[in-house]
Chains A and B, each alone.
Chain A
Amino acid sequence: MSAALTILGKDLRLRLRDRSLLMFAVVVPLGLTVLFSLIFPDEEGFELTAAVVDADGGQVAGGFVDGVVPALVDDGVLTRVQVTDADEARVRVADGELDVAWIVPEGFSAAVAAGRPAELEVLVAAGRTLGGEVAVGIAEGFAAQVEQVALAVAVDAAVTGPASPERIEAIATGAETAPEAIAVAELVAGEEQRLDFTSYMAAGMASFFVFFVVGTGVLGRLEESQHNTLPRLLASPIPPAAVDLGKALGSLVVGIGSMTVLVAATMLLLGADWGPLTGVAVLVVGLVLAAMGVMALVGGFARTAEQAGNFQSIVAVVLGVLGGAFFPIPGEGVLVELATSISPHGWFLRGITDLVATGQVGAVLPAAGALLAIAVVVAVPAVWLQRRSWRW
């Protein structure tokens, strides 16, 4: 064990002196996160500029206009702009002057009271995808409470969504009572489980680059062969396995260390949201172990350290893209599910998303379990491949 720790200490010293490692571990991922959040500014600062038109004036409409909306303004999510009527709102949304507008049409409250289908219109300016989803989510949350209200969602001022039949149901007797204002956090998190852009990029970049960071260490003997130092290590009076153990520990420490620096830096410098830190720690350890396993397996097919580095890069990039480390994989379906399920990056991002959404440490368990499972599944063949280098 002490020999393994000596080798670990030597490797950490070498890594700290290695500029390229510092680049890969911290500078590049942090830089890319900053760059991406500059290119795609965070819509989800939720400074939505919005207008509400109450053409109805009734009691149910009042629940939305005087209950939900002021609560959102108080929470700093909305900047409310006064408009005179629905037409003005349409024009200003079309111009992009407003991000969103909600229009409660005339007869809305009466329709609700009479059990007839009622429609709440949501207008979204072109390109405000995330803001639009939030606006729809807010309206849906309200509609869910009033039950029979259908939503008409208009993007870029073109009406697209007809009222869905399920929403048109019998009048609930209690419907006259204006619904309680709905908490924004519930609306946003409950409906749309996603991270804000900066947090997503921070988690994506950190997970992408940690694969490169742990890559060299798990090559173990190949890396030592590069300096011709392997014979010297093996000729020392230490158990041969200490060489492999020491180098694996080095990868673990450097991987966890670089992730920790990135989590801290993106939190402090960029305001990224990672959720409760205990949960983050569990996911980070899981990801680093999975990355070590995958990189060791891939490296096991190589004859030289250089070749191994090339194989590893290819696999790290493919898994990163599949897992959505750069951008969420669009679309749904079995293939997308499968792609993200084989990618440690995908599980890590899923874990962080769940963690942030729920604020519960326990929410990381499925993702952490999957990461550990990947680590074990790849470690077995990786060890089997390395075994030829352990033969005396």
Chain B
Amino acid sequence: MVRGSRLDQVLVCSGLRKAFGELQAVDEVSFSIARGETYGLLGPNGAGKTTSISMVAGLLRPDAGEVTVLGRRLTPTAAAAKSAVGLVPQEVAIYPDLSARENLRFFGRLQGLDRRELDTRTDEVLALIGLTDRAGDRADTFSGGMKRRLNIGIGLLHRPELLILDEPTVGVDPQSRNAILESVEDLATDGLAVLYTTHYMEEAERLCDRIAIVDKGRIVAEGTRRELIATIGEHDLVRLEIDGDVQAAVEQLRGLSELGSVEVEDDHIVCLLAGAARRLPALLGAVAEVGAVTTGVEVREPDLEDVFLHLTGAALRD
């Protein structure tokens, strides 16, 4: 599902594989990201998101496949390709004993920025992440949200073409989280390609132009939010709250034709079906047949959680 010509692509990954012993952490992962596009890897913990990103950033050698950035193959010694990438690691990667400004300047120097660029970019980034007032303070005096912002700022300092953000909102209070999401939205409008990993469906829905749903090292579906939801078909989601033998009711419902899927989620039964309003009586009838009583019904449009459930049979969040 690659859009535009290959030249438009900032990042192209093809056939990435990585195993740790017996565990196939990443299995045939291929995707590409165009200029100005925000691409999401959405998957639960352990799906292989960080491992994939480590290969994209040249930190980990793929067992198979390759990564090209702006048409150049990315390896640990490919300086030009690496310069085009800004990495924001999942764990906050800053020196607590250095100030915000010192952290920025150190990593800026490693990126090869000259003195003038270093001065101007440091000030710009400090303003962007809202740390101008605290620039001289040691990072260990910062709140969790401030550290996260500094973590992102360092990745942006050298004006990369591709920014990789690995779960940047984990462990962040709602206010800082919102600030981070807003700044990511701004970055994409500036033409940056963004690779964003998360296990929060809402973040992927809000930020990403395209989303890859990742599970057990594989991309199980890829596309825009609309396209992904369409993989379920023109289906609605019906949630039944019942009083009685849930398992028997599920068996009975599975017997009905035209039902996309029937799963149990938190003691509720979740069914996917087309034309829900018309078929609701049949569902309730099936529940009644096994002697259970329906105590609540909810019909809504499916979201990415439902897509994930539908594709993998498991919940996105545990």
A-side residues, CB < 8 A to B, are 3, 6-7, 10, 13-14, 17-18, 227-229, 231-240, 391-392
Chain A residue nearest in CB terms to B155? A232
Contacts of B154 in A (CB 8 A): 232
* Extra 15 A-B pairs, beta carbons < 8 Å, given A14-B98, A231-B54: A10-B98, A13-B102, A14-B95, A228-B89, A229-B94, A231-B87, A233-B110, A235-B87, A236-B107, A237-B79, A237-B80, A237-B82, A237-B111, A239-B77, A392-B75
Q: Could you list 18 examples of A-B contacts with CB < 8 Å? A: A14-B95, A17-B97, A227-B94, A228-B93, A229-B93, A231-B54, A231-B87, A232-B93, A232-B154, A234-B76, A235-B58, A235-B59, A235-B87, A237-B82, A238-B79, A238-B110, A240-B76, A392-B75
A3, A13, A227, A238: which contacts B93 (Cβ < 8 A)?
A: A227
Complex alpha-carbon distance, A237 and B98, angstroms: 22
Residues on A with C-beta less than 8 A from B98 are 10, 13-14
Closest 3 CB pairs of A and B: A237-B79, A228-B91, A236-B110
Q: Does B109 contact A (CB under 8 A)?
A: yes
Give the residues in chain A near B97, CB-CB below 8 Å: 14, 17-18
> A387 CB to closest chain B CB, in angstroms?
14
Report how far A233 CA is from B57 CA in the complex, Å: 11
Taking the closest CB of chain A, its distance from the CB of B94, in whole angstroms, is 7
Given A227-B94, A228-B89, A235-B87, A3 and B110 touching (CB < 8 A)?
yes
Closest to A243 in B: B110
B60, B77, B98, B110: most-surrounded residue (chain A CB, <10 A)? B110
Q: Is B112 an interface residue (CB 8 A)?
A: yes
Interface residues of B (CB under 8 A from A): 54, 57-61, 75-77, 79-80, 82-83, 85, 87, 89, 91-98, 102, 106-107, 109-112, 154
Residues of B within 8 A of A240 (CB): 76-77
**Interchain CB contact under 8 A, A231 and B93:** yes
- Interchain Cβ contacts within 8 Å, total number: 69
Which residues does chain B contribute within 8 Å of A228, judged by CB atoms? 89, 91-93
- Min CB distance A242 to B, Å, is 9
Q: Considering only CB atoms, which chain A residue lies closest to B92 in the complex?
A: A228
Q: How far is the CB of A310 from chain B (nearest CB, A)?
A: 22
Closest CB in chain B relative to A115 CB, distance in Å:
78
Q: A17-B97, A237-B80, A237-B82 are in contact. Are A231 and B61 (CB under 8 A)?
A: no
- The docked-state distance in angstroms from the alpha carbon of A392 to that of B110 is 19
Question: Once bound together, how far apart are the Cα atoms of A391 and B61, in whole Å?
Answer: 8
> Are A231 and B94 in contact, CB atoms less than 8 angstroms apart?
no
Q: How far is the CA of A17 from the CA of B82 in the complex (A)?
A: 31
Complex Cα distance, B59 from A94, in Å, reads 76
Return A230 CB to nearest CB of chain B, in Å.
8
Residues of B within 8 A of A14 (CB): 95, 97-98
Question: Nearest CB to that of B86 among chain A residues?
Answer: A235
Partner of A227, one of B58, B85, B96, B109: B96
A18–B96 alpha-carbon span in the complex (Å)? 11
Whole-angstrom distance between the alpha carbons of A206 and B89 in the complex?
Answer: 40
Given known contacts A228-B93, A232-B89, is B102 in contact with A237 (CB within 8 Å)?
no
Cβ-defined contact, B61 with A6, below 8 A: no
Are A234 and B58 in contact (CB-based, < 8 A)?
yes
B82 CB contacts on chain A under 8 angstroms: 235-237
- On whether the beta carbons of A392 and B92 are closer than 8 Å, the reply is no
* A391, closest chain B residue (CB): B61
A48 to chain B, nearest CB (A): 52
CB-CB under 8 A from B91, the residues of chain A are: 228
Closest beta carbon of chain A to B95's beta carbon, Å: 6
Chain B residues lying within 8 Å of A17, measured Cβ to Cβ, are: 97
CB distance from A231 to the nearest CB of B (A): 5
CB distance from B282 to the nearest CB of A (A): 54
Query: In the complex, what residues of A have CB within 8 A of residue B102's CB?
Result: 13
Residue from the list B83, B92, B93, B95 in contact with A237, Cβ < 8 A: B83
| A231→B95 contact, CB < 8 A | no
Asked if A392 meets B76 with Cβ closer than 8 Å, knowing A10-B95, A13-B102, the reply is: yes
Chain B min CB distance to A134 (Å): 51
Distance to closest chain B CB from A12 (angstroms): 12
Complex interface: chain A residues within 8 A of B89 (CB): 228, 231-232
Report how far A3 CA is from B60 CA in the complex, Å: 21
For residue A227, which residue of chain B has the nearest CB? B95
CB distance from A7 to the nearest CB of B (A): 8
Closest to A15 in B: B97
By beta carbon, the residue of chain A nearest B61 is: A392
Which residues does chain B contribute within 8 Å of A236, judged by CB atoms?
Answer: 82, 107, 110-111
Instruction: Please determine whether A229 and B87 come into contact, CB atoms closer than 8 angstroms.
Output: no
Smallest Cβ distance from A236 to chain B, in angstroms?
4
Q: How far does the Cβ of B187 sit from chain A's closest Cβ, in whole Å?
A: 18
B111 neighbours in A (Cβ, 8 Å): 236-237
